[in-house]
Amino acid sequence: MATEDRPVPLPLRIAGGLLLAAGGAVVGGWIGHSFEAGGLPWDDALALLMGAMLIMLGGAMAVVMATRPSSVPKGCGVLQIVVSALAGVMLLLPLFALEWLSADVVMIAIVVLLVAQSAANWMLWRRADELLRRVMWETSALAFWALQLALFLYAAAERLGLISGVTAWGMIGILMTVYLLASVIVTARRGLK
């Protein structure tokens, strides 16, 4: 058995779990404070939650990559971390960057990050093994199916005057939420950890 394939010792797993729990507590406290202090509208609150979760997911993947390198397809671990972290940062920039930068500079930064994330996603797809490609494909298909059903129901309800419009910012938060949930479902269904 190679050194990389040995099971992680229980004390190290417990320490990792505690570290993740502490990170979750800090992020949860920060989000809760932001909700209270800013009186955020629901679409900003959802973007804040999704951005924080994606950055935490990137951190969790970094821990997995550091502790179980043999379970991560070659060349994919860092790319998965980059894709997740950049998605989180892009959701948070419009919420917080305007305190320090102009809207034009923030938009340019978002475009640059989007190009970098798209390149990382493309490289991830090319380097992924067949299982990871299948997970990515199934996640996209499940998210598309769920979102098209939701969009149809929303559009019909809006046309009938039963609900008011949702902003594009709110829709991107909903899209990210559905995609993240689809990813969790597909990953669990495939038995991946």
**pLDDT value for 69:** 62
**pLDDT value for 3:** 45
CB 89 within 8 A of CB 113: yes
pLDDT digits (tens, 9 = 90+) for 164-192: 888 889 889 899 999 988 988 888 887 76
Determine the distance from the C-alpha atom of residue 124 to the mean position of all C-alpha atoms in its chain, rounded to a whole number. 15
Domain ranges of the chain: 1-128, 129-193
CB 70 within 8 A of CB 4: yes
Percent of the chain with pLDDT over 70: 81
**pLDDT value for 141:** 92
Among 12-21, 57-66, 96-105, the range with the most confident prediction by mean pLDDT is 96-105
**pLDDT value for 160:** 92
79-101 mean pLDDT: 91
pLDDT digits (tens, 9 = 90+) for 31-78: 666 655 567 888 888 888 899 989 988 888 888 777 766 665 555 778
Pick the residue with more confidence: 3 or 39?
39
**pLDDT value for 7:** 66
